[in-house]
Amino acid sequence: MASPPAPPLSPSPAPTKELTGKEKLDEVTDLMNKLKLDLKEIILLPHRMRPTNRYENGHCSTRLTAAWSAERTALLERVKVHGRKVDNADPIFTDENDNADDQFLLSRILFLTTYDTNINFERLIDEHHLADNLNQSIARQAKMYPKAPRKPQPSPQDDLALSENLKLIFNITHFLPHRASAFSKSIPNILKILCRRAVQEPPLQQPTPYLINALLNLDLEGTKCSIHAPLFPKIDLKCNAERLIVILDKASTAYPEAELDQIGAPLVTLLRKVYELAPETVKKYMQDRMLPSEEDRKKPLGRSDNLSSRLLNFSSSPMMASLRDSVSSLLFELSEKDATQFVENVGYGFASGFLMTHNLPVPESAMEAFSAEGITAGEEGNGKGKRINPITGQFLGSEEHAEMPEMTEEEKEREAEKLFVLFERLKKTGVVNVKNPVEQAVDEGRFEEID
């Protein structure tokens, strides 16, 4: 037997006039109570199904259809309207308790009011302690992550509340960057959650992307707040950089390129900020993890199955319009923003596009690839002085040379004629000013007449 239809729970009609005073307060209180009840009993979401009758071929059958899917949206929209002015809207902005459901709801509503509204968030920060409440909420959530990784992780509802808090912090600091310092107290706790939280599979599921995004707009230097160097704690200077690199490494194999292009760019941007602020020991660690190693240089760069090779391939991928330049910029910064060192580290083949698009001169060393000498890795570089092909980044001693029979004099003459014709055509285009090498050889007296 089919269950009887559930009684409808429809939101009250939208007010025809702007409410004020006690009338507005009562309306806001009623809306918030309905939304809180919905969080506990899930009465407004599509998960609550309504049975309906359907007649086919003279037979009656009962099926379940999603009901009331628009009701929660309607309630939230009305709360958003009331929240545009803080007067008599205290239930929206008051942090009453530590309940994850309440945190989720309040942060979601405030997050929605950051769009298409003239609400004064600076007043909420100054008079209603919005930043203090969010900082306290993040601090409470950070306490749920113990040092021991085997202990239970927070519940999915806790993750949802954390995600909404972080999204709200990101939007406020994006639209009001001059008030970002109000959230500096959350930096250590965000980093604590990021490091202690088990890395997910795949790794960029919520709340991880929101932890990363929130950090992007905050003062990570620690010089403008009372917190000392939260990015590089004395107990382990590299712990935060290490965790971000682990996430990047796992993400680089967990997602197709098109998806990674959308969700991976903020992570790479954060790594760039971390590297810029890092002490020398952490910079060296990041270079070792993300730049090609001596082992990689036994082949042309980009051929190994590790993070450095994947980053090189991302930097030249036509499918990754957003991530491509971010990765190239990261590799350039890992090379101390020096074009010569950049070519030495990644090879001219991977470096050329970035150098041209950023109007950086091509190092003279790159042209040495056409000689038998190559370039020499610096004393602090990979290979410790071994000769490197600057085009491919491979050690010259590891290059495979195809064995070909020596050309006859007639074959050499034919190839010289082809080369002469090609250079003459190139010179006529006017695109570049070149001198035919055969003509130059004649001028220098390197040709002699023979009978």
Please report which helix (H) or strand (E) contains residue 231, including its range: none
How far apart, in Å, do the first and last CA atoms of the chain sit? 110
Report the pLDDT value the prediction gives residue 17, as an integer from 0 to 100: 62
- Preceding peptide of 202 cis, ω within 30°: yes
Q: Is residue 318 part of a domain?
A: no
Same domain, 437 and 384: no
Which SS3 state, helix, strand or coil, does residue 47 take?
coil
CA dist., res. 33 & res. 397, Å (int):
74
Q: Are strands 59-66 and 49-56 parallel, antiparallel or unpaired?
A: antiparallel
Secondary structure percentages of the chain, helix, strand, coil, to 5: 55, 5, 40
Residues of the chain with pLDDT under 70: 1-17, 38-70, 72, 80, 83-86, 90-98, 149-151, 223-228, 365-404, 423, 426, 429-451
Interacting residues of 210 by C-beta distance below 8 A, sequence separation 6+: 162, 163, 166, 167, 170
Q: Look at residue 85 in the predicted model and tell me its pLDDT.
A: 67
- Retrieve residue 182's tokens: 């109000």
Q: Please tell me what DSSP assigns to residue 89.
A: -
Q: Return the pLDDT at 334.
A: 97
How would you classify residue 302: left for phi > 0, otherwise alpha for psi between -120 and 50, otherwise beta?
A: left
- The parent domain of residue 435 ranges over 420-445
In a domain, 429, yes or no: yes
d(CA 67, CA 46) in angstroms, rounded, equals 6
Q: Based on the domain organization, do 339 and 393 belong to the same domain?
A: yes
Instruction: Determine, yes or no, domain membership for 40.
Output: no
Residue 24, domain member (yes or no): no
Threshold 0.85, pTM exceeds = no
Sign of CA dihedral 148, 151, 156, 161: negative
Per-residue tokens: 27: 């309306």
Q: Is residue 414 part of a domain?
A: no
CA atoms within 13 Å, Cβ hemisphere of 94: 11
Per-residue model confidence (pLDDT) at position 48: 41
Same domain assignment for residues 353 and 394: yes
Is residue 379 included in any domain, yes or no?
A: yes
- What pLDDT shows up at residue 51? 43
Rounded to 5°, the CA angle 105-107-112 comes to 95
Contact 34, 75 (CB under 8 A): yes
The model's pLDDT over 267-277, given as tens digits with 9 standing for 90+, comes to 999 999 999 99
Place of tokens 């088990």: 198
- Residue 191: closest CA among 247, 235, 154, 244: 244
Task: Check whether residue 392 and residue 352 sit in a common domain.
Answer: yes
Asked if the structure places residue 431 within a domain, the reply is yes
Helical axes 21-41 vs 71-83, angle rounded to 10°: 140
Q: Is 262 among the domain residues?
A: no
How many domains is the chain built from?
2
Q: DSSP class of residue 330?
A: H
DSSP collapsed to 3 states, 160-183? HHHHHHHHHHHHHHHHCHHHHHHH
Q: 364: which DSSP letter? A: G
Cα 250 to Cα 203: distance, rounded to the nearest angstrom: 7
pLDDT of residue 98: 56
